[in-house]
Chain A
């Protein structure tokens, strides 16, 4: 792993998530989806701190994490659209997308449900002794769940190589975090367990990367877990079929903090990526997305018989 990731790669990765989701939204048979738009920097920053040995787990908001981890976009799209060419033969969908061979151990669409599973994956990694770490992205809603507190406790006791990544987008569907969790700063929940913690701007991909990298280094050394709270914004409602509860003004303010906008402007300003470079990047990403749409459009749906396969 390079000491510092190439900022253009990070921008590309975030752009891919954004454009992928825009294209997905246009698919008439896209079904029920939870989008990562606005929260790209969390997944991309965390994944920049992971290497091939590592595993990532996510909540049901899995599209950003799966793409950031490097699963081929056309395979992700096929899975989301219920095609057998997806990594899970269309059975998992967004809520349960998994591709352990790509370092994405999987999504688990039960709030807080991925935490203890991730701790188990990190226990396996610890016993294997190859220095692998596990990152688990969960929402602010999970911070009220017993699963988090039980898992923090065991992870601390056993010094598990596990990074707790709280993607705090401010809402559990309609409930603002201030009414869902008593702690003012969610990373403070790690304090009683003696777990090192950071709260960072989840719209700044480098801030996320640097904190995640620090915790990954600690975990790799055998010094146990870390808790990283990333304060982010979701640009749409909870899901594609959930009512928006915020005003237009609130949404506009959230979009002002767009991680792609900010990194793009910075790279342009410091001369890393000029207008021509940027448009080439966008074109690359659009081609990937077009291919994903084409591939998944042509891919077959499962046969009804598949409903009864891989059960036991």
Chain B
């Protein structure tokens, strides 16, 4: 299959352009998504191509914007609503959690909400309320799907799939990913199902499970551990809900050791859910450790930010400690 190298934000814009071309009812809403092209240019070109009716700038009103996007989807459109920073998604959790996630259930199937809430997580010097990774909050909401790609090809593939789902999907990208580049298949087909993890680096001694930007950290840690004789299998979760416990479990059944890595908080985090679900699944003894943000807000102060965020060095150290006396 032929492919083309794209920046991460270009992969998002391309997926949206293709889906908007295919589906007249798809409407994009959010702050600065119009002529400005999105805070990270991830909507570049859409306004010029599809016009102001379908690419709608919204006021600074996350709660109503999300509600409007979800209500419009419930009433027959398909919508993607952009919430610039995931911290502000908190303002719109009411319509997302209380209405959209439950709409199908509470109406006995009479109402579906085919909408994508796209939002950007991650710390990058902007401070405590522009930095959070709260995707684990959403994993426990019945009716929500949560997607968090780590590279342009997955962003493209998973966004296209998300835009064709019949229920609400939260699509989480990351500030540090937009400038990364990668090969994206030229095909216009949708072939990347939600709920499938990917082995991005095979290994035999320990499974490193991560999602979004943290996958890059996991790969870096795996490269550093190789000379020390530790072979790491890196798994990119890609979708957090539903979680591909089968693939992670299959890997951990071989390595017998699991290190989870995430940029969010450790308590009730993605890693604790992954580890518990893997333990429930396997009847063999496994070693488990987790790496996450330290339990503090993420400051805009570079020294403090670096201290709180997980990095490859902490993954290396945690992995070596876990495997001690193997």
Contact = CB atoms under 8 A, between A and B. Distances in A.
A–B contact at 8 Å CB threshold (below): yes
Interface string B79-118: 1000000000000001100110010111111110000000
Contacts of B107: 87-88, 91-92, 96, 98, 106
A206 to B, nearest CB: 30
A128 interface: yes
A71 to B, nearest CB: 12
A120 B69 contact: yes
A236 interface: no
Nearest to B71: A120
Contacts of A123: 27, 68, 71-72, 75, 77
B106 A88 contact: yes
B159 interface: no
A254 B27 CA distance: 47
B142 interface: yes
A135 to B, nearest CB: 14
Contact of B63 (A89, A116, A158): A116
A124 B76 contact: yes
A110 B94 contact: yes
A87 B77 contact: no
A113 B70 CA distance: 12
B74 A120 contact: yes
A312 interface: yes
A124 B94 contact: no
A127 B95 CA distance: 21
Among B71, B74, B109, the most chain A Cβ lie within 10 Å of the Cβ of B71
Contacts of A88: 106-108, 110
Among A55, A98, A153, A312, the most chain B Cβ lie within 10 Å of the Cβ of A312
Among A96, A98, A120, the most chain B Cβ lie within 10 Å of the Cβ of A120
A89 B53 CA distance: 36
A100 interface: yes
Contacts of A101: 110
A203 interface: no
B64 A99 contact: no
B162 interface: no
Among B56, B102, B107, B145, the most chain A Cβ lie within 10 Å of the Cβ of B107
Interface stretch (A31-39, A143-151, A209-217): A143-151
A90 B68 CA distance: 26
A124 B75 contact: yes
A101 B76 CA distance: 12
A86 B105 contact: no
A310 B112 CA distance: 10
B65 interface: yes
Given A154-B59, A311-B142, A91 B106 contact: yes
Given A113-B95, A151-B64, A311-B143, A99 B110 contact: yes
B68 A120 contact: yes
A87 B108 contact: yes
B94 A96 contact: no
Among A99, A101, A108, A158, the most chain B Cβ lie within 10 Å of the Cβ of A108
Interface in A13-43: none
Contacts of A151: 64, 67-68
Given A113-B98, A153-B61, A121 B110 contact: no
Nearest to A153: B59
A105 B71 CA distance: 10
Contact of B59 (A55, A96, A106, A157): A157
A295 B290 CA distance: 56
Nearest to B77: A124
A115 B68 CA distance: 9
Contacts of A117: 67-68, 70-71, 74, 95, 99
Among A92, A110, A124, the most chain B Cβ lie within 10 Å of the Cβ of A124
A119 B68 contact: yes
Contacts of A55: 75
A190 interface: no
B74 A310 contact: no
Contacts of B106: 88, 91-92, 96, 98
A151 B72 CA distance: 13
B73 interface: yes
Given A98-B111, A128-B76, A119 B71 contact: yes
Nearest to A89: B108
Contact of A121 (B27, B64, B72, B104): B72
Nearest to A98: B107
A125 interface: yes
B272 interface: no
A312 B68 contact: no
A137 B145 CA distance: 31
Interface string A126-145: 01100000000000000000
Given A100-B110, A120-B70, A147-B63, A312 B75 contact: no
23 contacts: A87-B110, A89-B109, A91-B105, A91-B108, A96-B107, A98-B106, A98-B111, A101-B110, A108-B99, A113-B95, A113-B99, A116-B68, A120-B72, A120-B74, A121-B71, A124-B71, A150-B64, A150-B65, A154-B61, A154-B65, A157-B59, A311-B104, A312-B242
Given A91-B107, A120-B68, 4 more contacts: A88-B110, A117-B95, A121-B71, A146-B63
